[in-house]
Structure 1
Amino acid sequence: MYYFQPLDPKDVSPRALVLSLMSSAFTAPQSIGRLINAAALFGIEPATLRVAVTRLQKEGLLESPDRGVYQPGPKSKALTRRVQSWKDVSSRIVPWNGDWLVAITGHLGRTDRKQVRARERALALSGYKETETGFWVRPANLARDLEGHRADLVGIGADEAISLLRVSERALSGGAEWETLWSTADLARTYAEAIDAMTTSLKQLPSLPGDQAARDSLLIGQAVIRTINFDPLLPPELGDQEGFLRMVETMVAYNKAGRKCWQTYHAAMEADDKKI
């Protein structure tokens, strides 16, 4: 689970910046020139940015459909689609009848640390919490059927052999209560903080210099999108679903404003390049 906190410009690495730009909902394939211009906002040198792009290509996270142009690579396309779907998140949930989804991972092993990280990221992105080793749960209020949901998990990094169950009755030892795995108060607070940050920024963006407006919109926007994507999508019986959907609605407006900021910034940078 991820609680909202605006990104710090000092913490934006070349790798993270490129992947963030590639996963933006309005992003088409990006030229190296635009990536370099974006990096300049965070004090990242062109040579450093090029090294990051080359490494991401080698890892299969980027590919180049044309000379000097980049888009998500074969190893990141499914995850990129998942990140980009934040605007449609409300369509992924249905009313909850009290059932639970259980992911069994104990048989998958933990020796391949890279795969363990990918597995746990996929489960976290899908709102699961681990109750004990190899046993993850979440409310069964997702619109996808069980097999489709399992395919989604595999598509974003979970093991092909992961097992899912839908449980309607429970007899748990030690008074364990799955309903308490998430903090409703913390989630409600993070929704309110994200909405406040976006609302305040929307008032300020028009008066900021173009470069600062683009940078600030990315720092806040990417943090909110990450909050949306890592949200457990709890039903109203367990969480502040109304507050969550209000945050998503506010982000739709903020995304439009951020897109305009970036278009203005790129246009200004490209106009300057032509003068040289």
Structure 2
Amino acid sequence: MNDTRPRHDHAPQRPVERTASAEGALALRPLTARSIVLSTLLGHHPPELPARALVRVGELFGIAEGTVRVALSRMVAAGDLRQSDGSYGLTARLLERQARQDESRSPRNRPWRGDWEIAVVTTAERRPAAERTALRQAMSGLRLAELREGSWLRPANLDRPRPSVATAQCTWLTGTPDGDPAALAGRLWDLTGWADEARALMAALDRADTLADRFTVAAAALRHLLSDPLLPDALLPPDWPGGELRLRYDAFAAELRELLRQYLSPNAARGGAVR
């Protein structure tokens, strides 16, 4: 995506269908009313908008008003959204997701001096499945990798709070590996695979020539950033694409914000089409 300026045409366009052969192994989810509403609110601060605004956002992508309103009702019923005075906002679970997405775009790094944070499960061996699942999700959010069952670690270069589920089930330690830390990082994370997919996403952004296509690829890019291990530079392969992918996503996010600002303006003409 070289030109991030809003581009206008005579009709909203649906995204073109993409196959595995066209985009490699990229997992591009279809554009739906639900995905448009969710992505719009996740990218908006505060994450709450009137129904009429979300309907108009749907218009940008050729989604009918009735389809958007049905999606809103279903998302409220599913616990994804809360409704208040004609506006819709994210529920607590999705507010946590927004916080993780914000962190993936602007991680809070701290100087790395070679230390690793280590978490070892020290609760009873027979933990309920719900507790094990909650811990795994928390560790993923903290970007720790599992060395073996019940042992999690990562370089101590991130500044973020530990959720109670992680502190309750684990004993936390600080240490350093005896061997090559870069080799250990390579065993814990598929860095080559992550980098390959990041480059494929940037190439897909370059090829995307409609707003709908750029939206679809950018959403996949944001999901991919959530799995960036955010390692210190010393442990990353050469030409690591994480920073460039963030810049590409930020450029699209700025384009979309400006387009929505113009499109949702009280003075904007209804039915304006976008390419």
TM-score w.r.t. the length of structure 1 is 0.69
Unaligned segments of structure 2, at least 5 residues = 1-23
**Greater helix percent: which structure?**
1
Unaligned runs of 5+ in 1: 205-211
AA matched with 1:249:
L
Query: Using a 3 Å threshold, how does the CA distance of structure 1 residues 22 and 120 change in structure 2: closer, same or farther?
Result: farther
CA gap of 1:132–1:58, structure 2 versus 1, over 3 A, is same
Residue 187 of structure 2 is aligned to residue 180 of structure 1: yes
Match of 1:249 in 2: 247
Counterpart of 1:24, as a letter, is G
* Count of residue pairs brought into register by the alignment: 243
Aligned pairs for 1:185-200 within 5 A: 185-200=192-207
Q: 1:23 Cα deviation (Å)? A: 0.8
- CA RMSD after TM alignment: 3.8
Pairing 1:1-276 to 2, within 5 Å after superposition: 5=26, 7-9=28-30, 12=31, 14-25=33-44, 28-39=47-58, 49-58=68-77, 60-65=79-84, 67-89=85-107, 92-105=108-121, 107=123, 109-112=127-130, 116-144=132-160, 149-151=161-163, 154=164, 158=165, 161-170=168-177, 177=184, 179-201=186-208, 204=209, 212-213=210-211, 215-240=212-237, 242-263=240-261, 266=264, 271-272=269-270
- Please report how far the alpha carbon of residue 24 of structure 1 lies from its aligned counterpart in structure 2 after TM superposition: 0.9
| Secondary structure, aligned partner of 2:172 | strand
Distance 2:67 2:166 in 1: 33
Quote the Cα distance in structure 1 between the aligned partners of 2:63 and 2:167. 38
Kindly indicate whether the alpha-carbon contact (under 8 Å) linking 1:198 and 1:251 is maintained by their aligned counterparts in 2. Answer: no
C-alpha displacement of 1:38: 4.2
- 1:208 aligned partner: none
Higher RCO (CA-CA < 8 Å; seq separation 6+): 2
For 2:81 and 2:232, how far apart are their aligned partners in 1? 36
Contact kept in structure 1, 2:122 and 2:170, CA below 8 Å: no
Q: Aligned equivalents of 1:41 and 1:272: distance in 2?
A: 10
Check 1:200–1:14 CA distance in 2 against 1; reply closer, same or farther (3 A cut).
Answer: closer
8 Å Cα contact 1:4-1:227 kept in structure 2 = no
Deviation at 1:233, TM superposition (A): 0.3
- The answer to whether the Cα contact below 8 Å between 2:109 and 2:158 also exists between their aligned partners in 1 is yes
2:121–2:171 Cα contact (<8 Å) kept? no
User: Quick check: 1:99–1:139 contact (8 Å CA) kept in 2?
Assistant: yes
User: 1:105, CA displacement in angstroms?
Assistant: 4.2
Q: Relative to structure 1, is the Cα distance of residues 81 and 177 closer, same or farther in structure 2, using a 3 angstrom cutoff?
A: closer
- For the Cα contact (< 8 Å) 1:126–1:232, is it kept in 2? no
Q: For residue 247 of structure 1, report the CA deviation from its aligned partner.
A: 1.9
Say if 1:167 and 1:85 are closer, same or farther in 2 by CA, change over 3 A.
closer
TM-score (norm 2): 0.69
**Aligned equivalents of 2:46, 2:216: Cα separation in 1:** 16
Judge conservation of contact 1:57–1:73 (CA < 8 Å) in 2: no
1:207 alignment counterpart: none
Question: Taking structure 1 as reference, are residues 106 and 55 closer, same or farther at Cα in structure 2, changes over 3 Å only?
Answer: farther
**CA shift in 2, pair 1:42/1:166, >3 Å:** farther
